Amino acid sequence: MQQIVNWYRKFLEGADRELYGRLAKGQAPHTLVVSCSDSRIVPEVIFSANPGELFVLRNVGNICRLDDPSVACAIEYAVNHLKVGSIVVLAHSDCGAVKAVEHKEHLDSRGLIEWLGEECFDGCDLECAIKASGIRQFERVAAHPAVKAAVQEGKLEVGLFFFDLATLCLARYNGRDWEKIC
Ligand SMILES: [Zn+2]
């Protein structure tokens, strides 16, 4: 635990105090990102964002089940109160959550079963299944009444991206296919 304190001290040495002074008065993030808890997927790093720019919901598998209060609450707060202009669902390669869904014997505790037991592995390989899962999560977000209303008013855009760790390629789902962006 001491190491965490040391890392905090290191952060403090280089912290932008002017920025934090502004952020102390409130936040106005432009985007809600729903990403996996995976330690390799850090939305602020890959989208070059400073503190205050992204409202982030991270969970195992970037699952967007609207019957989960933490998912519903994050979406509603971001859309209705923070008035974000974009929601990004971020799927990623080598996702352990999707792997676990393929091998249901890995779901060996109550939390994992409750969280991932109802998810399904669609597609011929892991990448296809991760992308299919991403589409499922994207559709869930898009179906939220607050999201639907804001999109209809032209105030909100919802996107789904796939980030590949090995190549650093980013692809975007266009509603039918995946387009390579970078
Ligand atoms: Zn993952």
Model confidence pLDDT, tens digit, residues 166-181 = 999 999 999 999 999 9
User: CATH code at 83?
Assistant: 3.40.1050.10
> Which residue type occupies 160?
L
How many angstroms is it from 37 CA to the middle of ligand 1? 6
CA distance 91 to 34: 9
In a domain, 90, yes or no: yes
In a domain, 14, yes or no: no
Question: DSSP secondary-structure letter at 91?
Answer: E
pLDDT at 84 over 90: yes
In a domain, 12, yes or no: no
Residue 169: what pLDDT? Answer: 98
In a domain, 5, yes or no: no
In a domain, 21, yes or no: no
Residue 59: what pLDDT? Answer: 98
Domain count, the chain: 1
- How is residue 2 written in tokens? 């001491």
By residue range, what is the domain housing residue 92?
Answer: 26-180
The set of residues, in sequence order, having a beta carbon less than 8 Å from that of 159 and lying 6+ positions away, is 86, 87, 88, 89, 138, 172, 173
How many angstroms is it from 16 CA to the middle of ligand 1? 31
Give the full edge-to-edge strand order of the sheet including 178-180: 54-59, 31-36, 86-92, 157-163, 170-173, 178-180
Residue 141: what pLDDT? Answer: 98
In a domain, 141, yes or no: yes
The set of residues, in sequence order, having a beta carbon less than 8 Å from that of 13 and lying 6+ positions away, is none
How many angstroms is it from 40 CA to the middle of ligand 1? 9
Q: Report the candidate in 47, 58, 32 with the shortest Cα–Cα distance to residue 141.
A: 32
The average pLDDT across 147-161 equals 98
pLDDT at 47 over 90: yes
- How is residue 129 written in tokens? 């299944």
Residue 31 φ/ψ, nearest 5 degrees = -140, 140
Percentage of the residues of the chain whose pLDDT score is greater than 90: 98
How many angstroms is it from 17 CA to the middle of ligand 1? 33
Active site residue 95: yes
Reduce the DSSP state of residue 149 to 3 states and report it: helix
In a domain, 8, yes or no: no
The average pLDDT across 107-114 equals 95
pLDDT at 145 over 90: yes
The residue from 36, 64, 140, 144 that is catalytic is 36
Residue 123: what pLDDT? Answer: 87
